[in-house]
Amino acid sequence: AQSVTQLGSHVSVSEGALVLLRCNYSSSVPPYLFWYVQYPNQGLQLLLKYTTGATLVKGINGFEAEFKKSETSFHLTKPSAHMSDAAEYFCAVTTSSNDYKLSFGAGTTVTVRA
Amino acid sequence: DGGITQSPKYLFRKEGQNVTLSCEQNLNHDAMYWYRQDPGQGLRLIYYSQIVNDFQKGDIAEGYSVSREKKESFPLTVTSAQKNPTAFYLCASSMGSGGAGNTEAFFGQGTRLTVV
């Protein structure tokens, strides 16, 4: 079985500060990992994904994440927060052993202080 | 433009009534999914379909039903058997199984169902 744990349901950062959202996964086979962003009352938009190859993945809006197999982690970072980054962020995992269905973490809500 | 369309965006129903949520995609994707979202619980899979005329239960299928008669359409019916139907429902699609490049899911804008 596969699962995802997001550490911290709420994160508050100052504008211009580093954004760090933590995600740990559990999987018995090689995982494919994703970060999605959701704005209020909207669907989810893909920020970035790791499938194979380079472990440092760059996404949209200046976000990046690093796949660390030894730590079973896929933390999301952005060097400098912008007010428009205020949203909810979801980490997700899928594998070949689960029909490629996505399993989501509980989400982390980011607020950005001026 | 290609994408996934969910309708309506807001839906109100009386307790005990069945209600059907629409999901249409023009991405030519094989796989489609329904998720339920509640505050603090992330997204939970209700049903999914990997091919026309076939679908499987997800983690919380009780009280829900689906059909997949066309590749483009995957409607979800919330029945009166669903104990707590008020939630935000998200439909998604992907190219389906068969390799890393096919795993990305695209989401609709969601339907907020309120049962009174």
Q: Which residue from A51, A90, A106 is facing B103, i.e. has the nearest CB?
A: A51
Q: Which residue's structure tokens are 């433009």?
A: B1
Contact A43 B50 (CB under 8 A): no
pLDDT at B82 over 80: yes
Question: For residue A81, which phi and psi values (nearest 5 degrees)?
Answer: -75, 145
Contact check, Cβ <8 Å, B100/A9: no
Query: Region A61-69: what's the mean pLDDT?
Result: 96
With an 8 Å Cβ cutoff, is B101 touching chain A? yes
Residue B107 near chain A (CB below 8 Å) = yes
When comparing pLDDT for B99 and B30, which is higher? B30
Collect all residues of chain B within an 8 Å Cβ-Cβ radius of residue A96. 97
Tokens matching residue A33: 């990992």
User: Does residue A1 belong to the interface with chain B, where contact is any CB pair within 8 Å?
Assistant: no
Q: Which of A9, A43, A104 lies at the smallest CB-CB distance from B40?
A: A9
Contact B33 A32 (CB under 8 A): no
Closest by CA to B32, choosing from B18, B45, B19, is B45
- pLDDT band per the 50, 70, 90 thresholds, residue A90: very high
* Interchain CB contact of B11 with A (< 8 Å): no
Residues of A in contact with B112 (CB under 8 A): 41
Per-residue pLDDT, B98: 55
Q: What's the pLDDT band for A23 if we cut at 50, 70, 90?
A: very high
A11 part of contact set with chain B, CB < 8 Å: no
CB contact (8 A) between residue B100 and residue A51: yes
Give tens-digit pLDDT for A92-114. 998 877 777 888 999 999 999 99
Structure confidence by residue, pLDDT tens digits, B41-77: 889 999 999 999 999 999 999 999 999 999 999 999 9
Where do the DSSP E strands lie in A9-107? 10-14, 19-26, 32-38, 44-50, 56-58, 64-68, 73-78, 87-94, 103-104
Tokens linked to B104:
């990305």
